[in-house]
Structure formats: structure tokens, C-alpha cells
Amino acid sequence: MLHRVAPSLRRALASSTAPLRGAPLPSPHAQWRPCASAAASASSSSLPPPPPQGPPRHGGGGSSTSSLNPAEVAKFASIAETWWDSQGPFKPLHLMNPARLSFIRSTLCRHFRRDPYSAKPLEGLKLIDVGCGGGILSEPLARMGATVTGIDAGDENIKIAHIHAASDPTTASIEYCCTTAEDLVKENRQFDAVISLEVIEHVDNPLEFCKSLSALTVPNGATVLSTINRSMRAYATAIIGAEYILRLLPIGTHEWSKLVTPEELVLALQRASISVEEMSGFVYNPFTQGWSLSDDISINYIAYGIKKSETPSTISQ
């Protein structure tokens, strides 16, 4: 269910000077917002937006004093209390969590030479969950024995995460912070593994975001990201189906033009000195309402990479 990323593809992408497609880059900010941000409710007569006909926007330039998008944080805050409602707006993430954790457990145990069948295979490792939301990923990682830090730009999300984690001695030690990856980089924080799931499709500058994740990863450490492919299948299922027909997600959660293809993700991580080693897709079974790992990366996918030991090179904008 996992497949290696061909070295020839990595080399070709690394040598490419083409800009990253997919996420619009109107500014140099590494702005990001947590996964599954909710958009304002639309009426039942709302029509889904057509996929863009032309190439996505690109951007670049100087630096920014803030990485936050107050409007997006405010939208997400409005449903923060539903993080642990498995039948609420975050139901898709709850359903996907077992498959996501299976990939993380498998790749990290192989990377750090741990026994995946032990009760606490990640014991002694420092992990960070970037865009942790209410902690639905941070908590099971802590139960695997990892020392977990969860960060999110929304204070309401962090409050919910704190409250829920405190109810279990196993998860009460999680360090939750209302901050951004960029701010932690300034504090010279580093972790054995950096995990950011369903976040990069919500950032304004995926290249800068990957640079921040790389800076938080120790040399030879592991990085895991998951996102949605920018494909017509993804548009039909993740946007039209999930948001407008089945209403599994609030309308406006995802913008097709901001989705990132696997090739673009490999390129962005390569430019941030992270070599993608394995990638897997997710497939949804509507009859069991469960997700499983698959070789099909045309819609949802997850990638594992290794931070190179040398100093990351400057990303050209």
C-alpha cells in the first residue's frame, strides 16, 4: 500500500526551476490555517465553483511580520468546540485518523528502527503536530509513547485540546501552544519528527511553509505531510461531493486552485532539504465509512520524507 518515490522523479523535480503550482502565492507570507477550516455556511441553493481554467497564481517577494490570517482563524474558531464530536464537522478527520496513524506508525518505526508492534513504539521521540486543531492526532501519538508538542494558530482550538487531553493521564503531558511553525523556528525549536496533516492546502505559500517544517526537523529526522491532490477526481469528490452534496464538510473548506499535487509537494520539500521517500493514497469506503491506505494518490495522499543533514538552501521565489 506504500510506494517509494522514484529517485529519478526526485532528481528531476529538484533540478526544476519551475514555480510550485497548486496553491496560489499572492504574498510571501507562510500563512497557514488548521486543517478543515470551516467557511461561512452557504444556502442550500449555493452552486459549487467551477475548477479554474487557467494556471494558478504565483507570488513571491519580501518578508512578513505576521503569518496569521485573522479571517480564517475566526472562521475556524466558530466550530472549535466540535473538534471531538465524531459526528460533527470534523467527522471526516475522525474517520481518516486510523489510516493516517497506520502510515505514521509504520514509517516512523522504520525510520527510527522501532518495533511497530510494541505498546509504545515512539517512546523517547520528540514529535510536533503542526496545525493540531483540537488534538485528535496529537493524543494517539502521545499514547504511542512520543513526547508531543501540538501547535495551532487558533487559541480556541488549543483551549479545546488542553481540556480534552487533561482528562487522560497519558495525554495530559502534551505541550499545546497557540503559535505558528514560523515562530517556533525563531525559538530554535527542533523535533525528531514533524507532522502536518491536512494543512498545506490551506497555506498561502507552500514553499515557505515547507521551509518552516524543515527548520523544525532535526538533521536526518522525519517529516510527514498529508493533503489533497489537485485533480479532477479530487474536485468531484472532496469539493463537490463532500461539501456540496453530502455536506461532510462546510462549504468553502477547500479551494481547488490551492490543492497541491504529489509532484509539487515533492518539489517543495526537496527545495526545503527534505527528501520524500514514501507516499500512499487514502481511499474511502462509503459502505463501511472507513478509510484505508492505497496506491491510489489521485485524491487524498500522505508522504514521508527525511530531512537532509546539510543546511537547507535558500528557496528562490
CB within 8 Å of 63: residues ≥ 6 apart: 28
Please tell me the predicted confidence (pLDDT) of residue 26.
32
Greatest Cα pair distance in the chain: 53
pTM for the complete prediction?
0.80
pLDDT tens digits for the chain (317 residues)? Answer: 556 665 555 554 455 544 554 433 333 233 333 333 333 333 333 556 666 554 443 333 334 433 455 555 566 677 889 999 999 988 999 999 999 999 999 999 999 999 999 999 999 999 999 999 999 999 999 999 999 999 999 999 999 999 999 999 999 999 999 999 999 999 999 999 999 999 999 888 899 999 999 999 999 999 999 999 999 998 888 888 888 888 877 777 788 888 999 999 999 999 999 999 999 999 989 899 899 999 999 999 999 999 998 654 444 44
Among residues 309, 303, 311, the alpha carbon closest in space to that of 13 is found at 303
Please tell me the predicted confidence (pLDDT) of residue 48.
64
If residue 3 lies in a helix (H) or strand (E), which one and from where to where? strand 3-4
What count of Cα atoms within 13 Å lies in the side-chain half-sphere of residue 173?
Answer: 13
What count of Cα atoms within 13 Å lies in the side-chain half-sphere of residue 174?
Answer: 37
State the sign of the Cα–Cα–Cα–Cα dihedral 80, 83, 84, 86: positive
CA distances from 174 to 42, 138, 169, 177, 216 (A): 36, 8, 10, 10, 17
